[in-house]
Amino acid sequence: MKRYSRQTLFSPIGVDGQERLRRKHVLIVGLGALGSSIAETLTRAGVGKLTIIDRDYVEESNLQRQLLYSENDAMERMPKAEAAKRRLNEVNQDVEIHSIVGDADVPLLERLAPNIDLIMDGTDNFDTRFMMNDISHKFHIPWIFGSCVGSFGSTFTIIPGKTPCLQCLLKKLPMRGQTCDTVGIIAPAVQMVTAYQTAEALKILSENQWALRNTYVTFDLWQNQTLSIKADSIKNADCYTCGHYPTYPYLQYEATTKTAVLCGRNTVQIRPATSTNCSIAVLADQWKKAGYKVSANPFLVSVLKDEHRMVLFKDGRALIHGTNDITIAKRVYHSLIG
């Protein structure tokens, strides 16, 4: 097919590989900077079907790095999943796009999983990534982790039964706790991460698994640093997700972040699955440097973000004041906490 002629000329894909791409179904969770770039690349590549999920809407601050969206999308506050679908249909009508405006929660992921060939990480928080990690292993679906903030990015390809999972990885290679709302981000860092992610995706979808990278890659474009770490040895036989006796803990209710609308207070409470010991002083300093109005005492920190105020307690529990909408509350929470 002429449309894909340059891609089929690339011998590892070829005509047969292109036909394999056409038969595949990819789930993209999150349509921010990473997810929107992934979605466009895979749509242009001719992947047969994409299911795209996002709970958020387009804002003006997204336009600097989220390539699928327009100023009109931001002015209309279009849900990202719908705005992305509209643009992707303009890019390639041969690709079936199924959009979902909402949370990627456990029931939804379990319902979608049996028909998925690959999961792509476009999220901005580890709650969702841990669920994706468990879904991946429970249903034996490969998934590709990606993360970026500032000029820093990282990515890792996870193949159930072969590679370490995200839980194994985090025990040895702790991630940064920063967010785009606190330290910013430059668009080239996004494009570098998605270049790695989508290259790996094309290998899996065209059935060229022999070419997959077996390292965790991290880089800082501003500091001109790149590190590739061989990860095979960190796979943990006792891991609850990928070990010999998996229990998939993040698919259990007890391991999920709990939310509750506080009656009559225009406030949503968000409580992490496990109690933490937040560093109030560190967070207060980080948010002040980002330009937010912050106050703190030894027990909690309060931060004002736009029209919402978040109060975070030392145990990780947060109150988001100024909304009864759980989706909005989660967006505020994750933009500040990561």
- Active-site residues, by number, are 180
Q: What is the DSSP letter of 232?
A: G
Q: How far apart are CA 270 and CA 257, in angstroms?
A: 7
User: Angle, nearest 10°, between helix axes 187-205 and 14-22?
Assistant: 100
Other CB atoms within 10 A of residue 256 CB? 18
Q: What is the DSSP letter of 194?
A: H
Q: How far apart are CA 163 and CA 34, in angstroms?
A: 23
Phi, psi (5° rounding) for residue 230? -70, 125
Residues 241 and 167: beta-carbon distance below 8 Å: yes
Q: Which of 290, 319, 322 is nearest to 306 (CA)?
A: 322
Q: Which of 32, 49, 327, 314 is nearest to 181 (CA)?
A: 32
Residues 305 and 292: beta-carbon distance below 8 Å: yes
Strand partners, 308: 305
Q: How far apart are CA 168 and CA 164, in angstroms?
A: 6
